[in-house]
Structures are given as C-alpha cells and as structure tokens.
Amino acid sequence: MPLALYALAAGAFGIGVTEFVIMGLLLEVSRDLGVSVAAAGMLISGYALGVVVGAPILTVFTANWNRKRVLIGLMVIFIIGNAACALAPSYDLLMAARILTALAHGTYFGVGSVFAASMVGKDKQASAIAIMFTGLTLANILGVPAGTWLGQQFSWRMTFWAVTLIGLAALAVLILLVPTDRSRAAQSGWRADLKAVSRASVLLGFLTTVLGFAGVFTLFTYIAPLLTQVSGFADTAVSPILLIFGGGLVAGNLLGGKLADIRLKTALIGSMAALALVLAVISAAFGNQTAAVVLTGLLGVAGFATVPPLQSWVLSKAVGAGESLASSLNIAAFNLGNALGAWAGGLAISRGPGLENLPLVAAGFPLLAIVVALASFAIERRSVPSPISTHQTAS
C-alpha cells in the first residue's frame, strides 16, 4: 500500500480525536464555562451538524481543486478550528469553533476515500479506504483516552492545543507524502454532480449507511450505563472495556476492507447481518460480565466492519460524476446515523422497553439497512440490460 494512505490516516486520526474527545471532557467544560452538562453535550450535536452541512458545501466549493490541495486546505481549517476551541472565552464561541472544525470532517473523509481508492488497483480499493479509516479507529483507542486524561489533569484547553499540534503534524505528513494529484476533486461541474448523487441507487446507499450506523450508536451512546447498571461493573471498569471495543473497531475496519475487496455486495449484507446478530445476542450477554466484555469487543468488530463496504458501495454507484460529492455525503450519512441512533436509544430508554432491552431496539436498524440494500441491488439489476436482450437488440 502507498505511504500516502498512511498520511491520510494521520489526518483521520486528528479528526477522530477532536470529534470524540469532548465526550470525556463535558464536566470540565461545563464547570469552566459555567454551563450545564446538557448544554456542554450540545457541543457534540453542533459538531455533527457542522459535518452534515460542511460535507456538500466544501466538496462543491473545492470541486476545481486537485485533491492534494483540497486535503491540505481542510487540514488548515482543522488546525485553525482547534486552536479557536482552545482559546474560546465563552460557550458560544466554543460552539462556533467546534462547528468550524467540523466543516473539514465530511469532505476530508469523502475526498480522501476517493483519493485512497485511486492510488491502488480495483481489487484493493476497499482495503485502501480501510487504511485511511484506521486513523479514525486508532483515535478512539489512543487519542481519545490520552486527550481525556490530559484535559482532566490540566485543562480541557490543553487537550485542544494537543489536537492542534496533531493537526500540524498531519499537515506536514500530507504535504510530504501525498502525491500531487493531476485529477480534480470533481471534474464534471456541480449540476452533473448533483444529478449523479440523486440516482436511486446512490440515495439508497446513503440510507443504508444511516440505518446501519444508527444500530451501532443506538447502543454505543449508552454503553456506560449498560455496563454499570445492567452488567454491574464499577465506573472505573468502563474505560478498560472501551479499549477492547476500540481494538474491535480497528480489527473490524481492516476485516471489512478485505472482505469488500473480495465480494462487495456479500460483504455489505454480511457485515450488516453480523452487526444485527451481535446486537441481538448482547441483549442476553449483558447479564454476565465476562460475556458483556467479549460482546462489547465483538460489537466494535461488527460495527466498523460495515464502514469500508458502505463507503465502497456508494463510490461504486457514483463513479465519475459526483464521486467526491457522493463520498462526502456518505460521511454525512454516517453522522446522521450517529444522531438517529442516540435519539432512538434515548427514546427507547425513557418511553420504550428500557435500558436492558436497548440492544434489541438497536438490532432493528441493521436489519432495515439490509432491506434497503437489497432494494438497491434490485434497482441496479433492472437498470443493467441482460446479455441476451443486448444480443437480441444488436441482431
């Protein structure tokens, strides 16, 4: 694999840290800025909103740039945004800085996925995308715990200064290792791009992504209370168990890339089915502490095994016109899935079957994703003429 893929992963690592580290620093931020914990939690929602809005806008705006220039520009936005977070004197300015930082997220992963796939042969494209996303998974294992510790020991502002330094290092690696790409991020104009991403197969691909990742975050958002209140773990045990979950993310991401390179459709359906199965089994496993730890790790494997197939599937439906835009919008779809899952999980806990049955609620989302994916496959088959009909037409 080209070294440039690991440069892309370095940028993904920094973005992953800044997205998730705030979850462990809500108390520190709320105390320092004089806001409630709930208000501090809105910094997570604000970031997600920035991803959803920024992905299409920046992708279209940078359509005439070569891809290396796009990635470097996005990393500069990332650096400025995190420095602004560290300096923010008020909650409102911190929220604005978080949204600014998030603008780079969707387009970085979107354009980066297209760039990664273009560096290798067709039989390795999903694995190349998985390598870039490995930076995001490693952020959950290494960067987020380290950033949380730094913020708790010193100041949450120190964490954002550290992430700014990570961004500077990633920028240097991108400049040095990523080749200057002769092709542009998009070559066909924004009207053609919008027409390409509005095709039914692409839209169904986005919906598959939303539903698939909603299943992961319906459960993962509330993993701490599940482990403490249902499995009976002490609060101090949650972080080590989440490290196991993070290890599962890395393994699942690489496994999903390998399987998608072999048979994309099978990997897409199979990973969703595996996710639904793990979520269903977890419902019973959380009653036993050993089983809960094992299944939490498997949730990481199954959850991120879906990422390379989902991203590769959307890219395969938007080859050429709309490729970068479709890729960026699919990153936004992942974030919409996160938001949908967190909302559905909260609703299930407060008004539905309760915390202990949350995994069963979560399992319904990947099953719905399978139905949508199969519908997309059916549309694809109808749109491609059979060899017999083509031969008869030619005759």
Range with the poorest average pLDDT among 40-44, 274-278, 300-304: 40-44
Query: What value does the mean pLDDT take over residues 74-99?
Result: 93
Predicted TM-score of the model (pTM): 0.75
204 and 270 in one domain?
yes
Q: What is the pLDDT of residues 96-122, one digit of tens each?
A: 999 999 888 888 888 888 888 888 787
Q: Tell me, what's the pLDDT at 190?
A: 57
Residue 389 lies in a domain: no
pLDDT of residue 270: 93
Tell me the range of 36-45, 123-132, 270-279, 304-313 where mean pLDDT is highest: 270-279
Calculate the average pLDDT of the chain: 82
Q: Tell me, yes or no, whether 28 and 81 share the same domain.
A: yes
Mean pLDDT of 128-134: 82
Burial of 159 (0-12, 13-18, 19+ CB in 10 A): buried
Q: For residue 348, is it within any domain?
A: yes
Confidence of residue 283 (pLDDT cuts 50, 70, 90): confident
Do 148 and 233 have their domain in common? no
Q: Specify whether 67 is located in the same domain as 146.
A: yes
Q: Are 133 and 62 members of one domain?
A: yes
277 found inside a domain: yes
Report, as an integer, the average pLDDT of 287-300.
Answer: 88
Residue 47 has pLDDT above 50, yes or no: yes
* Residue 395, in any domain of the structure: no
Mean pLDDT for the stretch of residues 214-223: 83
Number of domains in the chain: 2
Among 130, 151, 182, where does a domain finish?
Answer: 182
Q: Which residues contact 237 (CB under 8 A, 6 or more apart)?
A: 227
pLDDT given for residue 387 in this prediction: 45
**Domain limits at 164?**
1-182
Looking at residue 22, its pLDDT comes to 80
Q: Are residues 253 and 123 part of one domain?
A: no
Same domain, 212 and 234: yes
Supply the CATH number for residue 96's domain. 1.20.1250.20
pLDDT tens for each residue of 54-71: 888 887 787 778 888 888
Q: Which residues contact 254 (CB under 8 A, 6 or more apart)?
A: 127, 130, 131, 134
Is 77 a domain residue?
A: yes
pLDDT confidence band for 145 (50 / 70 / 90) = confident
Last residue of a domain, one of 142, 158, 182: 182
pLDDT at 50: 85
Rounded CA gap, 294 and 300, in Å?
A: 10
Q: Using CB atoms within 10 Å of the CB of residue 343, give its burial: 0 to 12 exposed, 13 to 18 middle, 19+ buried.
A: middle
Which of 182, 201, 221 marks a domain boundary? 182
Shared domain for 373 and 323, answered yes or no, is yes
Confidence of residue 186 (pLDDT cuts 50, 70, 90): very low
Check whether 385 has a pLDDT greater than 60.
no
Does a structural domain hold residue 91?
yes
Cβ contacts of 304 within 8 Å, gap of 6 or more: 133, 137, 248, 249, 250, 252, 253, 256
Q: What is the DSSP letter of 322?
A: T
| Predicted pLDDT of residue 188 | 52
For residue 216, pLDDT over 70 is answered with yes
Distance CA(24)–CA(26), nearest Å, equals 6
- Local confidence band at 322 (pLDDT 50, 70, 90 cut-offs): low
Split at pLDDT 50, 70, 90, the class of 228 is confident
